[in-house]
Every structure is written in C-alpha cells, then in structure tokens.
Structure 1
Amino acid sequence: MAIYQKSLDDTLVAINAASSPGTGWSLAANLQAVLNAARTANMPLFLRAGTYSTGALDVTAATGGGKPLELIAEPGTVTISLSGSALHLLQVDGVADVTIRGIIFNGNNQALTGSGTRGLVRFINAGASNFSIENSAVLNSTAAGIVAEGGSKGRIANNRVSASVTGIFANDSVVDIEGNHLSTLGDNGIAVWTSSIAANGSIVRNNTIDNVNNASGGTGQYGNAILVFRAGNVKVAENTISNVRYSAIRLNATSNTTVVNNYCKTSREVAIFVEAPTSGLNTNGCVIADNVIDGAGCGISIANAGLYSDGITSLTVVSGNIVRNITKNAIPDPGYTPPTTTGGGIGVEHSTNVTGNLITATQGAAITLGTNDAAINLAAVGNTIVSCPMGIGYSADGSARSLLISSNLVRGFRNITNIADPLYPVSGAIVSLSFNGTTYDRDTNGASANTDYGISSQTSVGNLTVGMNRANV
C-alpha cells in the first residue's frame, strides 16, 4: 500500500491504495509529506476512506510554509494508526488555526516517549491558537488521548476518547471541552491544570464520561472524571458522569470555579470533592449548584480549613443539589484513610453556605457542619432531608466558630436516646458529632444522649445558632 495525492476542487485529496487510482494522482513519500504539501498549497487535506499507518506526524512553523492545516475525512471512515513507539501520533506545535474533523486516531497501545504531558494528539505552545479537533476519535493511547499544553488555545468538541490513561489533558492552556464521550480511562477523564495558581477560564461542558479507574494508584490523584488543579475560573457544567473510582468532579487549589447542572452516578469515593490538601494551595470562591448525585461514598465534600499543614477551602456555596443513595464504601487502596467512606451527604469545614439542597437515603449524616476544630463560618439553611439516619450533625468543638442551622426540614431520621443502642452514633435530627479518625459519631452528654435541636424555635449555644427547623420521625 502507498499514499497517492491529487488536487481536486481546491482541496488536496489523499488515498492509501495498492496502486495509482488513475490519471492525475501522484505518489507521496508518506503521510507527513502530504500534510506538508497541503499546508504549503494552503489547501484543506481530505483523506479518503482507509487506514493510514504512520510514525509521528508534526505540524510546525518550520514546515508547510508555516501555514495552518485543515485535515478532514468523512467521520468513521479514516483511521490514522501509530505504527510503533513514537513521541506522539500527531503534534501541532505553535501553528494557529489548525482544524481536524472526522479522523480516528489509533495509538495501538504503542509507547509514547515525548516530554511534557505525553499524549497521542497534542496541541502545544502559545502559537497553537484557535485549534479545533471535532467529530473525531482518539483510541488506545498509553498516555493521554488529547493534550493541550504550553499556552495553546482551542476547542475539543464532539469527539470519542477511549482506552487511554487520561482522556483529555489541558495543561497551562485555555480550552473549550464540550460534547465529548470518554470511556475506559486508566487514571482520569478530563484534567484542567495550570503550573501555578492562576485564572484560566476553560470550559468543560456537556461531556459524557464513564468508567474511570485509578491504575496509577494514589488516594485521589487518579480515578476522577473531571479534575481541576490550580486552574481558576473554570466552568464545569452539564456533564454526565458514571462509574468512577474516586470523584466525579474534583477541584483542587482552584478559585472562582463553578460546578453546575452535572449528573454524577456511582462514585466510589466523594462525588464532588472541593479541597486544598496542601498548605499554600488554597481553594476559594467556588459554586457547587444544581447538580444531581446518585450513588457515592460521600456526596459533596468541601474540605480543609488550614489545619495540619492543609490549605484552606473557603467562600463556597453549595446550593440546590440533589444528593441520594450515599453509602459507606470500602476503599482498600494503600494509604487511604479511613478505609471506608463516611456515607455522608454534604460535609463542609470553612466559610461555606449549604442552602436549598435535597438529600435522601444516606448511611451517614445528611449534612455535616465541621470536623472537630475545622468548623468555621458555616450555615445550613433551607435544606430538605428525607430518610437519612442523622439529619444535620455539627461540631461542638471548643474551637468551632459561627455555625448557623435554620429553616431546614428533616424527616425520617433515627430518633434514638439510648446511647447504648448500636445505632445511636448515627442518629438524631440536629445534633453535635465528632470525628474519631474513622467515623463521624453523635456526641453524648455523659451517660445520656446529647441535645437534639430538631424542633427548637431559636437557640444559641456557644458558637451555634439554631432555630425554625422542622423535624419529624
């Protein structure tokens, strides 16, 4: 088989054939030469149906007259297949206005040996602006499927990415990632990172992500459908996510990021996890709103209050979410503690409003305000809690500061007053609780149950103000 090319109606057409297709066709040295020729002639390159086996392909400012590339095919008919170990399959380095449509890129599980963020299809450096890869497929990559890195800007839309380590990785780049279907990922689905904490503005919208493992191990670095790290002002909206080993959506050291209208089903750990686990890498100003969570080890966690060498996660709004079917899931991964999730619906620690959420069918507390001394400026207002063993648990630690619980409806909780009852630790409508390193347990008042404020009209006790709630067994 050989590659032949022909100019036709202001388009360069190429075909992989055993012999010349006829008059006007010329033999090309390889697929790289055809790409260069199309760019030099300033023509779109249309690939006819077939499989094109090749080594690494490069689009650089030093080739093809430095001009853009438009690479197109009838969707589903053309496969560009990696023939052996290589730096990548296709890389666009510093060239603007590159468009790719309708191509299947198959990595054949060949080793990718490039530097930086390794990937099968890569758009790198600031000159690679206004790129677009659409209606294509990226399969069988031993690293990432699609990479945007080093200041590139563009759009990754309506593609299928599967059988890769990470599906789409945007690193120090601003990318619209929309309408893609990602499945069977080894480590993460979509990652949006920056090298240092900085505004970014990428959009992750309307993607479908299923089956994300954590093949590289760890305790949450891998196994996430959408992972935002250090990049700020990111919009995560309207994604459908299922079957992940850790989190459906994980925000780490980001600011002013919104997570809105996502559907998250079957997360082994925390479905939506907002955290700052390292000192100096803070997370603030995030909105977690109108998401549906169905099945997780914990529903929503807003974690870290600047204690124990952690960063601070603050100024967060958790509003209008539906959280249901939350179970205590065993996570036997090395280094993961505690070994079982808490089964809680929503847990917060620092400067967070929890308002207007509907939570049902949890195995732990529906809402937890604070973890021992990590309990600062927290409000739970106007939430509806149905059929959860504990409604709202709050920290009564002496270091807890400014907690408000008001206008919540709690129905179907465990009403237990005997502290010897084995179900007492997870019971009550609005009660104080403590974390013992493994579980959140309802406090006691000596040999008696602690006070349940579920029907208090208005009460202030220490740093807690509670009132106007309604609790019914």
Structure 2
Amino acid sequence: MQRRTFLTGTLATLALPALARPATAAIRLADMRGSFGAEARDLRPDATDDQSRALQRAIDAAAAGGRALYIPAGRYTVSNLRLPSGTRLIGVPGQTRLVYRGGGHMIFAEGVENVGLDGLVLDGANLGLGEYAPALVHLVQARAVAITDCEVLGSAQSGIALDRSSGRVENTTVRGAAQAGIRSVEARGLRLSGNIVTDCANGGILVHRWKEGEDNTIVSGNRIERIAARDGGSGQNGNGINVFRAHGVIISDNHISDCALTAVRVNAGSNVQVTGNTALRSGETGLFVEFGTQGAVVSANLVDGAATGISVSNFDHDGRLAVVSGNIVRNLKTTIPYEDPNQGRGIGIAVEADTTVTGNVIENAPEFGMVLGWGPYLRNVTATGNVIRKAGVGIAVSVAEGARSTVIANNILSGVENGAVVGYRWNERATGDLARGPEDWPHLTVAGNRVS
C-alpha cells in the first residue's frame, strides 16, 4: 500500500465516529442527563389518536424527577400542553413532530424556570388557537428559557411568544406564522440568535414593551425573509425586526430580505445599536429609527433596495441623537406600499437632530442622496466624509425658519443631476447649489465638498 493511500484510509477511518455523532447527538445528550423515553409513559409514535394526556404525564414525571424527557422520532397529535419548571423536552431534529390538534393552545407555561425545548418540530397545522393564546409556544414570566434547534410551523397566530421572560431562542426556524415569527414583550434578559424566520404574515422578530424601559434584548445573526403586512398600516406590520419602547436593544449581523415595509424599525427604543446588518429589497425604509428614539448607533450596515435607505426621524416627537456611519446604501426606489404623500422615497439617508452622518456610501438615489432636516426640524447635524454617487440632488438641507446648526463638509458628490447641496423649505426648493456658490444661511456651513 502506498503511503498516500494508507494515510487517506486512516483519516477516513478516524473520521467515521465524528460523522456519526450528529445523528445521535440528541439521544446521547438525553442519556447523559439521565432522561427517559416517553414511550415508557404510553406515548406512541405515529398513532392517529390524541397523545396529549400521555405526553403531559411524561412531561410532569420527568420534570418532577429532575430529568430531561427524550421523545423518539415520530408524529404526535397533541394540544393544551403545560410545562412545569424544569421541563426539558428533547427530540430528534426534523423527525420528532408534535402536531397541534386544535381546541385551545399547544404549549404554554407561566411562572416557571429552566424550561427547554430542543430538536422538536412544532406544527400548528394552521388550526385556530384560543383567543387567550397569542402563539403556538407561549411562555409567561419564564426564567432561563432555552428553545434550541426547533422548527415552529404553521401557527394561526405568532410562532413563539415570550412575555416578561429571560433566556434564549437559538438556531430555531419559524415559518408560516399568521402574525409574527417571534414576539417578545418586556423581556428580562433575552437573546434571539441564529434563527430563521420566514414567510410570516405580519412581522418577523418583535421586541416590544407595554411601557418604555430597559429591555436589553440581543437580536443577532438571524435570517429573516419574506415578511408581509397582511393587516396593513404604515409601520405596525411588515417589519423584519421591530423594536417598540424597548431600550438598550442590540440588533447585529442579521440578514433581512423582502419585507413589505422595513428590515429594521426602532420606535421609541433608546440606546439602540443597529450594526452589521444586511437589508435587501425593503418595501418602504431599510433601517428606520423613529418616534422618540434617543441614542442610536446605525453603523456598518448594507442596504440595497428600499424607498429610503436609512431614516432617523421625528424630532417633533423627541427623536434625536444618533450616529450614522460606515453604511452602504444603494438602489433606492420611488414607490411605497401604501398611500402617504409625506413619506419619503428615492432617498439614501435622512436625519433630523443631534446626529453625525459620516463615512457612508450612497449610490443610485433617484430623488436625494441625503435629506438633512424637515422644515424646522433640523438641529446639530454634521454630514462629513460621505460619498454620494448618482443622485437627483446630492444633499437636500432644510432652510425653513427654525432650522438650526448644520455642517456639510468634505463630501464627494458625483453624478448629482439636480445639484450637489440644495436648500429646501419643506418640499419647495429654495436655494441654488450651495456647493458651487455661497449663500447667506446663518445656520449652515458648507465647505470642502468635491463635486464631479
């Protein structure tokens, strides 16, 4: 035997145990934790009758004994399951399928801790849930939740709803929910990472609070696709990631595409970071920071295809204080999916108050590369070191009465057909090209811009 052949055969032999591990990982994990099989409690895989009572008995017994419950591969028709503290359900990924039979809820827990779901397919079969059930999996005041490597399919409401809960949802697929994929209200330390959320009717991942307050949820590394706005509106629905009244949220490194309205929408959520995300083909705004948000970092994102790429707005509702830096925004469009003559379109980046806009690259903005201010809603804005290519107007800045200090300096503007820097009173063009000829506007400094 040649040395090369010997080495190849040896490496292949050594690799065999490693290749076999994933198929038995759940079983070995369950065995190591002292779990027992659900079949010992009269649970029958692929039975046509209702398995709810048998599974509930097994869940209760395992939790009471401090053990995980391994559920073998197969199809189980269930409903109205309630999880006690210490529940740990482990299935064979893709093969252990719990199918909702209707008549109330599927999985519910309240006031519990250390609850885990691992490797399960939870199929709502698009059957109606009770009015009290906002999701196929609904956990209330649950501490140290762990939902991992699951699939949540065909919910008639949301896929997963977490109320006043802490823990993590990781590497889980939520598909075909009639409301949102994953919905959190008043989180107490939550991480949503590595999930796939697709084809949901009204929202992808929602991080909401009843009243403004610290939330500190981390939404990272998720893939969100094809989010509709079935119930309409001008912002309530159709968002890939939506933060509402929740402070301290981090939204990072997500891939978000084909949302009816917005890839990321932050409404009244202060001290928020939106960094490193990819937003493709948004119906309205790619990344939207609005209504009372104070303190936002919008950095190193890529936005391709939206009516407005990035918007930091609503100074009239105390929206202010942001850094918009290092983003690429391109291929903007002039249509939105609802009627509103005041909603911007064909715009790369729009900001209003106490904001630095620096180091961004904007390309193919048919109306405006940037819009700084709206009427009197302009204060303490700098736009420096940006590159704007192929825009109607490079930078539109408000010169309406009440507009305040703004610096536009050292930007490169190329292929700006209707002017490099132009002043506007609301929608009305009010100046010449300020980058080519100085005009006396006391609140404006326009200097060092290169136009070609």
One-letter amino acid matched to 1:100: L
Aligned to 1:446: none
The runs of 4+ residues in structure 1 deviating greater than 6 Å are: none
Q: Does 1:428 align with 2:396?
A: no
**Matched-pair contact (CA < 8 Å) for 2:284–2:306:** yes
Given candidates 432, 447, 450, the residue that maps to 1:467 is 447
Determine the C-alpha separation between the residues in 1 that align with 2:269 and 2:402.
27
Determine the C-alpha separation between the residues in 2 that align with 1:70 and 1:203.
23
Q: Does 1:327 align with 2:333?
A: yes
**Matched-pair contact (CA < 8 Å) for 2:45–2:73:** no
Determine the C-alpha separation between the residues in 1 that align with 2:279 and 2:31.
48
Aligned to 1:120: 136
Q: Does 1:17 align with 2:17?
A: no
Cα distance change of structure 1 residues 8 and 268 upon mapping to structure 2, 3 Å threshold: closer
Q: CA RMSD in A?
A: 2.0
Determine the C-alpha separation between the residues in 1 that align with 2:269 and 2:434.
36
Aligned to 1:205: 220
Structure 2 gaps, min length 5: 1-29
Aligned to 1:421: none
Q: Which has more helix, going by share of residues?
A: 2
Aligned to 2:15: none
One-letter amino acid matched to 1:169: R
Aligned to 2:125: 108
Aligned to 1:318: 324
The offset of 1:339, in angstroms, is 7.9
Aligned to 2:416: 413
Aligned to 2:180: 166
Determine the C-alpha separation between the residues in 2 that align with 1:391 and 1:119.
46
Aligned to 1:64: none
Cα distance change of structure 1 residues 460 and 352 upon mapping to structure 2, 3 Å threshold: farther
The offset of 1:43, in angstroms, is 1.5
Q: Deviations over 1:269-323 (max 9, x none)?
A: 01111110xxxxx2101110110000001101111122xxxx1111111111000
Task: Give the match's secondary structure for 2:201.
Answer: strand
One-letter amino acid matched to 1:85: G
Task: Give the match's secondary structure for 1:380.
Answer: strand
Aligned to 1:393: 396
**Matched-pair contact (CA < 8 Å) for 2:184–2:206:** yes
Determine the C-alpha separation between the residues in 1 that align with 2:324 and 2:208.
23
TM-score normalised according to structure 1 size: 0.84
Task: Give the match's secondary structure for 2:83.
Answer: strand
**Matched-pair contact (CA < 8 Å) for 2:52–2:80:** no
One-letter amino acid matched to 1:400: A
Given candidates 161, 165, 183, the residue that maps to 1:147 is 161
Q: Deviations over 1:353-397 (max 9, x none)?
A: 111100001111101111112222211111111111211110111
One-letter amino acid matched to 1:300: I
**Matched-pair contact (CA < 8 Å) for 1:459–1:467:** no
Aligned to 1:290: 300
Given candidates 346, 349, 358, the residue that maps to 2:349 is 346
**Matched-pair contact (CA < 8 Å) for 1:189–1:224:** yes
Determine the C-alpha separation between the residues in 2 that align with 1:454 and 1:345.
19
Cα distance change of structure 1 residues 28 and 389 upon mapping to structure 2, 3 Å threshold: closer
Determine the C-alpha separation between the residues in 2 that align with 1:383 and 1:359.
8
Q: Does 1:97 align with 2:88?
A: no
**Matched-pair contact (CA < 8 Å) for 1:328–1:340:** no
The offset of 1:433, in angstroms, is 2.2
Determine the C-alpha separation between the residues in 2 that align with 1:469 and 1:184.
44
The offset of 1:434, in angstroms, is 3.6
Aligned to 1:442: 429
Task: Give the match's secondary structure for 1:412.
Answer: strand
Q: Which has more strand, going by share of residues?
A: 1
The offset of 1:29, in angstroms, is 4.5
The offset of 1:329, in angstroms, is 1.1
Q: Does 1:135 align with 2:138?
A: no
Determine the C-alpha separation between the residues in 2 that align with 1:257 and 1:400.
26
Structure 1 gaps, min length 5: 1-6, 21-26, 61-66, 277-281, 415-426, 444-449
Given candidates 367, 372, 375, the residue that maps to 2:375 is 372
Given candidates 51, 71, 77, the residue that maps to 1:47 is 71
Determine the C-alpha separation between the residues in 1 that align with 2:288 and 2:167.
27
Cα distance change of structure 1 residues 345 and 29 upon mapping to structure 2, 3 Å threshold: closer
Task: Give the match's secondary structure for 1:268.
Answer: coil
TM-score normalised according to structure 2 size: 0.88
**Matched-pair contact (CA < 8 Å) for 2:364–2:390:** yes
Cα distance change of structure 1 residues 369 and 211 upon mapping to structure 2, 3 Å threshold: same
Cα distance change of structure 1 residues 181 and 19 upon mapping to structure 2, 3 Å threshold: closer
Determine the C-alpha separation between the residues in 2 that align with 1:195 and 1:330.
29
Given candidates 277, 283, 287, the residue that maps to 1:272 is 287
Determine the C-alpha separation between the residues in 2 that align with 1:314 and 1:261.
21
One-letter amino acid matched to 2:401: G
Aligned to 2:340: 337
